[in-house]
Amino acid sequence: MKSSLVKTDTSQLRSLLYSFTEDLSLNFLERRAKNKNHKATILEELQDVVEELVGRERDLQSSVEIGLSILDNNDQLKFKLSEKKNKLMHALDKVHHQSIDIKTLQESLVTAETRYEEINKALIETEELMLLNSAEINRLNRDRFLECRPVSNEEEIELIKKEFRLELESIQKKRSQLEKENRRLNEIFSQKEKELNEYKENFTKLETRYTKLQENYKESEKSREIQSQEIEMLDSQVKLLTSRCERLQSLSSRLEEDLSMLKFSDNDTSAKPGNSHASSLHSELESLADEYDELAFKSALAQGNNSIEDLLFLKPSHIHSHTPKTRTSSLFSNTRSFSISSGLGINVTQARGQRKKPPEEYFLLTVQAVKMNSPHMDSVYSVSSQELYDNAIKQGIPFHKWHIWIESQLNLAYVQSLYKKTRRNIWKRYGQKMCL
């Protein structure tokens, strides 16, 4: 049961770690760019970003807890392994002592057997000598008796019978004594054999136990190596998650700062309505701006510019730029003619010293004004104004939305430069170590 529970826990842990690695395979900005379920307003989108960051922090906390639990489990395994080692050493000492005892018993058994054989030989020799001596004594006694007085044949036969009975009785007594001694030695030999068999059985049991302990030790070593590898993997993932969390926190703080700046600029523009209606040309285009706000936002979403950077840095519809604008008819006619000529592949060559078209000059002046007023002027100044103008013409951005579109593009370029810097710093910090 315990092994099955451990297997299920490790499988769940592996699936959880694989899910973390899949989530971390893409960075935050790429995942947000691929996500098409964006919110309607900037505040809701920012709240969604903050909730996702909080979820990432929870995942980081859970991974740290998993790593700590694995470290505790590894400590417990190390403690159990040390106990098993101590038991194994004690069993090995016991086996060594018992093997020494078995060797001594075998030597004593061999000596007892040799002594038993020697005693048997000595007894046989003594019996033979006793029989010879008794026969010789009887013969001598009989000769003396015959020499002393003559006897009849019957008396001689009776004497011989008595001597034979006496010798037979003595032989039977000696035989019974030898049999008793033999039985005693056989009993001792059987006891020694039983003890030897018991020692052999204990020795085989200890050998099997020793092999099992060695197998358990090897398995525990393998499990410890696996646990150490998992701990190293978790440490690397925890480091990666902490770095990602720090990056996401810094990104969220920058987004909150940009949102506060947008709110502050919104309050400033709403507090000064006289500046927005200063010129007659702006009041003439005010009605057109209100109609194109929602259409431009929908067109940006339809064209795929629905990433987190584009949506967060777009201004609301009631915020308008204070730069002067040209008339719509001339601008649309120039824009259409330029788009038709660029679509047909016609290159319009201009003489040197000739002024550019008024829409282009107005666009370039607007870009310069936005760059000068941007808080990130050092990072944004390297963006090409001509490329911005070409992109605006290709995307069909209306002229009264140029100011907002330029600001969004410059802010996007600033965020991308920050992201490239963070990736470069992470590569300098971790990538070179990983390549070693």
Tokens of residue 125, six digits: 């020799």
Looking at residue 401, its amino acid is: K
Classify residue 314 as exposed, middle or buried by CB count within 10 Å of its CB (0-12, 13-18, 19+).
Answer: buried
φ, ψ for residue 398 (rounded to 5)? -70, 155
Share of the chain above pLDDT 70, in %: 68
Asked if 108 contacts 206 with a C-beta cutoff of 8 angstroms, the reply is no
Highest mean pLDDT among 67-81, 162-176, 268-282, 290-304: 67-81
Lowest mean pLDDT among 76-90, 141-155, 317-331, 344-358: 317-331
**Model pLDDT, residue 208:** 87
**Model pLDDT, residue 231:** 87
Q: Is the pLDDT of residue 352 over 60?
A: no
Asked if 237 contacts 63 with a C-beta cutoff of 8 angstroms, the reply is yes
As a whole number, mean pLDDT of residues 265-274 equals 53
d(CA 363, CA 393): 11
Tell me the Cα Rg of the chain. 55
d(CA 43, CA 58): 23
Name which of 113, 125, 120, 122 is nearest 182 in CA terms.
Answer: 120
**Model pLDDT, residue 353:** 54
Tell me the per-residue pLDDT of 76-135, one tens digit each, with 9 for 90 and over.
999 999 998 898 898 888 888 888 988 888 888 888 888 888 888 888 888 888 888 887
- pLDDT band at residue 249 under the 50/70/90 scheme: confident
Tell me the per-residue pLDDT of 11-64, one tens digit each, with 9 for 90 and over.
777 777 777 777 777 676 677 667 666 677 778 777 877 887 887 788 778 878
* More reliable by pLDDT, 327 or 298: 298
Average pLDDT, the chain: 72
d(CA 163, CA 135): 9
Tell me the per-residue pLDDT of 404-432, one tens digit each, with 9 for 90 and over.
999 888 888 888 887 676 655 554 554 44
As a whole number, mean pLDDT of residues 310-336 equals 40
- pLDDT band at residue 290 under the 50/70/90 scheme: very low
Tokens of residue 102, six digits: 């078995």
**Model pLDDT, residue 151:** 52
**Model pLDDT, residue 405:** 92
As a whole number, mean pLDDT of residues 377-384 equals 83
Name which of 236, 223, 240 is nearest 10 in CA terms.
Answer: 223
Name which of 251, 264, 262 is nearest 42 in CA terms.
Answer: 262
Task: Spell 274-306 as b/e; 16+ CB within 10 A means b.
Answer: eebeeeeebeebeeebeebbeebbebbeeeebb
Lowest mean pLDDT among 199-208, 344-353, 390-399: 344-353
Q: Count the Cβ atoms, other than its own, within 10 Å of residue 393.
A: 17
Classify residue 181 as exposed, middle or buried by CB count within 10 Å of its CB (0-12, 13-18, 19+).
Answer: middle
User: Chain-centre distance of CA 55, in angstroms?
Assistant: 21
Q: Which is it for the CA torsion 369, 370, 371, 373, positive or negative?
A: positive
Tokens of residue 210, six digits: 């020793």
Asked if 385 contacts 394 with a C-beta cutoff of 8 angstroms, the reply is no
Q: Is the pLDDT of residue 390 over 80?
A: yes
d(CA 431, CA 203): 58
**Model pLDDT, residue 269:** 55
Tell me the per-residue pLDDT of 175-232, one tens digit each, with 9 for 90 and over.
888 888 888 888 888 888 888 888 888 888 888 888 888 888 888 888 888 888 888 8
d(CA 404, CA 370): 10
**Model pLDDT, residue 43:** 80
**Model pLDDT, residue 198:** 87
Q: Is the pLDDT of residue 289 over 50?
A: no
Separation of first and last alpha carbons in the chain = 44
Asked if 60 contacts 245 with a C-beta cutoff of 8 angstroms, the reply is yes
